[in-house]
Amino acid sequence: MNLHEYQAKEYFETYDLPVSRRSIIKKSSDIDEAVESIDFSNGCVAKVQSHTGGRGKVGGVKLCKSKVEVKEFVEQWLGKKIVTIQTDSDGLPVNIISLEELTDIDKELYMSFIVDRGEKCVSMIVSEAGGMNIEEVAEKTPEKILKAKLNSDYLIEEKEIKVLANSLNFNSEQTDQFSKIVSGCAKLFRDKDLSLLEINPLVIKTDGNLHCLDAKINVDENALYRQEDLLDKRDPTQEDQREYEAKENDLSYVSLDGNIGCMVNGAGLAMGTMDTIKLYDGEPANFLDVGGTATKERVSKAFKLILSDQNVKGILINIFGGIVRCDLIAQGIIDAIKERSVSVPIVVRLQGNKSEEGKLILNDSGLNLIGEDSLQEASKKIVELVK
Ligand code: GDP
Ligand code: MN
């Protein structure tokens, strides 16, 4: 789960990480109050609040010298969508704009904390190349990427901090600030079960002080049960609507670009099904795992999800009955189809526990369902039918 920058900065403040003072605009009538509640003597920075970086490059971050310019910015963005290199071509809705007090910048650096799977720990990455796409920096100038592992107490030794600070040419005061920022971020990362914390850029201000100019936080969703304050920070408008609905119903769903809707029980089988569709030159419209304990209700929800995708021209249902009983699934499929008049062709493969009974139920339903026994045949068939 992602947070908005302004939400991330609220957490930053709790951990004494230096961020700019802000005010939030959710509707045009908020502008006056928002401008008055910050120090506007040097103007401000207006920032689109959507779950994406790369806003600066498309005008989603703008220095405004006057209230008129703020109004223009709000006019330009509020209620619109922002498309960046990090979003898809649809972009993300802009419902919130943050006004920040202006920071005078001397140098932009990069800092992040990640779950480092290779090293089996949390690692910190810092770089003198801030404000840029860090993947690009890593590729073109890997020597500019510095990395340090956090120990099991989420600490980096003071010695190591000093070495990093030296490489970044910090003076002693900046080194102290750096050390505090590192430990603040590490605590926040640990306390809130984050999977990513990124400050790009971390800046050296013209007065020499370090400052977190941007803030990105990803939370490990598996930990949300114990992070109650984070739960109401979720912004569904920033998530793929079908994926969000799937999550609410405990289904694993990822939307894709193709036209064959897939309903499968088990993640591995779902991957295999998508591979087989591709093998026969078809394109899956989604990954959908209804789970090992697929029930009638879940099948019905899954149908609704698949059919809400306008691109779906056919559906392949592939169920392996282990714990799940295929006869119950068959009934679920029939109920779901009757509930919503489905007009696209449906190929069904049932195997395993009570599959013979399941097939009989499907045959007797009088519905236009095509049964296949092998995954190859089933995939071939659905690919043919959507062509
Ligand atoms: P992103 O493009 O979505 O990553 O948004 P950022 O918050 O990183 O802002 C993009 C760029 O805008 C930064 O790299 C800065 O160069 C610039 N910027 C943001 N805030 C300020 C500010 O307070 N003062 C100045 N001078 N530039 C800023
Ligand atoms: Mn940024």
Cis peptide before 201 (omega within 30 of 0): yes
Question: Which helix or strand (DSSP H or E) is residue 205 part of?
Answer: strand 194-205
Give residue 50's pLDDT.
98
Catalytic choice (5, 6, 108, 110): 110
pLDDT (tens digit, 9 = 90+) per residue, 252-270? Answer: 999 898 999 999 999 999 9
d(CA 69, CA 76) in angstroms, rounded, equals 10
Spacing, Cα 201 to ligand 2 middle (Å): 6
Q: Provide DSSP, 115-183.
A: EETTTTEEEEEEES--SS-HHHHHHH-GGGEEEEE--TTS---HHHHHHHHHHTT--HHHHHHHHHHHH
Nearest protein CA to atom 24 of ligand 1, as residue: 103
Spacing, Cα 98 to ligand 2 middle (Å): 14
Nearest protein CA to atom 11 of ligand 1, as residue: 56
List, in order, residues 6 or more apart from 194 with CB less than 8 Å away.
Answer: 113, 188, 217, 218, 219, 220
Is residue 225 flagged as an active site residue? no
Mean pLDDT in consecutive groups of 10 residues from the start of the chain, 387 residues = 97 98 97 96 96 96 97 98 92 97 97 96 96 88 95 94 96 98 98 98 98 98 94 92 87 93 94 97 95 79 90 95 89 88 91 94 91 95 96
> Domain extents for the chain?
21-101, 105-231, 240-386
Q: Specify the CATH superfamily of domain 240-386.
A: Succinyl-CoA synthetase domains (3.40.50.261)
Q: State both tokens at 123.
A: 């690692």
Catalytic choice (5, 100, 108, 198): 198
Nearest protein CA to atom 14 of ligand 1, as residue: 131
Give residue 346's pLDDT.
95
Give residue 243's pLDDT.
87
Best CATH choice for the domain 105-231 from the list 3.40.50.150, 3.30.470.20, 3.60.15.10, 3.50.50.60 = 3.30.470.20
Give the architecture-level CATH label for domain 21-101. Answer: 2-Layer Sandwich (3.30)
Q: Provide DSSP, 91-112.
A: -EE---EEEEE---EEEEEEEE
Give residue 250's pLDDT.
85
Give residue 323's pLDDT.
85
> Do 347 and 314 form a contact (C-beta atoms < 8 A)?
yes
Give residue 132's pLDDT.
80
Ligand nearest to C-alpha 98 = 1
Is residue 384 flagged as an active site residue? no
List, in order, residues 6 or more apart from 33 with CB less than 8 Å away.
Answer: 23
> Do 112 and 198 form a contact (C-beta atoms < 8 A)?
yes
Residues with CB under 5 A from ligand 2 (ion): 200, 214
d(CA 355, CA 349) in angstroms, rounded, equals 9
- Find the residues whose C-beta lies inside 6 A of ligand 1: 45, 53-56, 61, 100, 102-103, 105, 108, 131, 200-201, 213-214
Mutate which of 214, 217, 238 to test ligand 1's pocket (most atoms within 8 Å of Cβ)? 214
